[in-house]
Copies of this chain bind each other. A is one copy, B any other.
Amino acid sequence: MRGHIPTYIKLKSMIQRSIEKRELVPGEKLPSERTLAVTHGLSRMTVRQALSELVTAGALYREQGRGTFVSARKMQQRNIASFSETVRQKGFAPSTRVLEFSSIKPPKDIADKLMAVDAEMYRALRIRLADDIPVALEEVFIPFHICPGLEKKDLTASLYKLIGDTFGHKIASADSSVTALHPNAKQQEHLRITRNTPVLKIDSLYFSGNGQTLYYEHAVYRADMYEYNIRISTQPGK
């Protein structure tokens, strides 16, 4: 079968939707694994696979001898949120202005982080706006071999999506470092703020599933306009 969706994914989505639609409320007990297997005409192992992924994602929790229950927190796709998504979720219209784009030999610290010491790479400097108000100044470094031909692409779109969809690099994780400081002259100018508006500096290194470094991003956000929200989980199975 072509384009066939695995059964356990279907069941998982079904449960996910039920939680989102509040048909299943927090604390509510799900039918037992054996019951779900019979009612859906599946084997118990298949049901377990669907439930296990939802447990890992934090949507459900299990108690041996008691049952499987809906977690109290609302489910959130806690992906690495792109700027565009974040802004849209808050009800603003995101846009992007590309200030500079070139291919360079990167500074040593950035080359080290990307594990590409002698490589040429693309560098882009972009302003990210919400309802046409400049919110962030973003500098991105992408090695040639990650995105060959990037210069022909539209950089006003989401870079996050571009790298995944067009160049086939699925972003799996990111290491970010966050701090606060005062903007320098260039940042003040582009963000149209004074030195006394503190900014959030977020440096992120993005990885694929096999641990390959994809790109490095140095971003500065107007702290009065932008808040960084994350959900951190402890490792499952530990």
Contacts and interface: CB of A to CB of B under 8 A. Distances in A.
A177 B71 contact: no
Contacts of A58: 172-173, 209, 211
B174 A232 contact: yes
A236 B61 CA distance: 16
Interface string A67-86: 00101110001111000000
Contacts of A211: 26, 58, 61, 71-73
Interface residues of A, number: 55
Given A178-B227, A229-B176, A234 B56 contact: no
B79 A235 contact: yes
A228 B179 CA distance: 6
A231 interface: yes
A180 B209 contact: no
A178 B228 contact: yes
Query: Which of the listed residues A27, A115, A231 has the most CB atoms from chain B within 10 Å of its own CB?
Result: A231
Contacts of A181: 180, 198, 223
Copies in the complex: 2
A180 B207 contact: no
Given A26-B211, A53-B236, A57-B236, 18 more contacts: A45-B45, A56-B237, A57-B237, A61-B209, A71-B211, A72-B210, A73-B207, A73-B211, A78-B235, A79-B238, A172-B233, A175-B229, A176-B230, A178-B228, A178-B230, A179-B223, A230-B232, A232-B232
A169 interface: no
Contacts of A175: 229-231
B178 A237 contact: no
A171 interface: yes
